[in-house]
């Protein structure tokens, strides 16, 4: 398993058994081609942007690229959908699957089932998300500034306990 991360976040990837690749200083496509010359079975993309066109060739025949990144605009969504359609029409056995990236509006059932399963695992203590910081909902601007700083390892949680008292 491999993970793209800046140097400051690579220790966390190693802790969970992934080989870190610094996407700032290394050509991840070149590194992965060297490490996996036969190609990859699956790629999970939470970044979006140009990662799909740059890395799709890393998949071996029958491989799948799962994107859960959200395009930043309507035109970005149209571009992504065009790329997905084009890639999935190619007769090379590789495909792209959109997960949550607007695709959940077309069929929400799988998305909701997965969320229910995740919350069940969380409640049973079988998964432990990494929480970097917690903010009250009214401090969402500060939470967003921290997120955009690039220094966050894990998740930022916004809480609104007053809304639970309804």
The whole-angstrom distance between residue 103's C-alpha and the CA centroid of its chain comes to 15
Would you kindly state where each structural domain of the chain is located, as residue ranges? 38-128, 129-166
Q: Are 71 and 77 in contact (CB under 8 A)?
A: yes
Three-state DSSP class for 94? Answer: coil
pTM of the model: 0.75
pLDDT of residue 87: 84
Please report, for residues 5, 6, 66, 110, the alpha-carbon distance to residue 152 in angstroms, rounded to integers and kept in the order given.
11, 11, 23, 29
pLDDT digits (tens, 9 = 90+) for 68-114: 877 777 787 788 788 888 888 888 889 988 876 555 556 678 778 88
* pLDDT band, residue 39 (cuts 50/70/90): very high
pLDDT of residue 8: 87
- Whole-angstrom distance, CA of residue 98 vs CA of residue 100: 6
Q: Are 70 and 49 in contact (CB under 8 A)?
A: no
């Amino acid at each position: 398993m491999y993970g793209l991360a800046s140097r400051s976040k690579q220790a966390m990837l190693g802790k969970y058994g992934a080989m870190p690749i610094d996407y700032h200083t290394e050509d991840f496509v070149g590194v992965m081609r060297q490490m996996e010359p036969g190609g990859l079975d699956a790629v999970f993309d939470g970044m979006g942007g140009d990662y799909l066109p740059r890395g799709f060739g890393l998949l071996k025949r029958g491989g799948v690229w799962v994107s859960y990144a959200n395009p930043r605009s309507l035109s970005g969504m149209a571009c992504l959908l065009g790329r997905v359609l084009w890639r999935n029409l190619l007769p090379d056995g590789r495909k792209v699957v959109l997960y949550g990236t607007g695709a959940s509006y077309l069929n929400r059932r799988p998305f909701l089932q997965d969320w229910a399963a995740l919350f069940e695992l969380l409640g049973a203590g079988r998964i432990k998300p990494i929480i970097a910081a917690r903010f009250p909902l009214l401090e969402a601007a500060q939470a967003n500034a921290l997120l955009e700083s690039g220094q966050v390892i894990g998740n930022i949680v916004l809480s609104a306990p007053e809304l639970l008292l309804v």
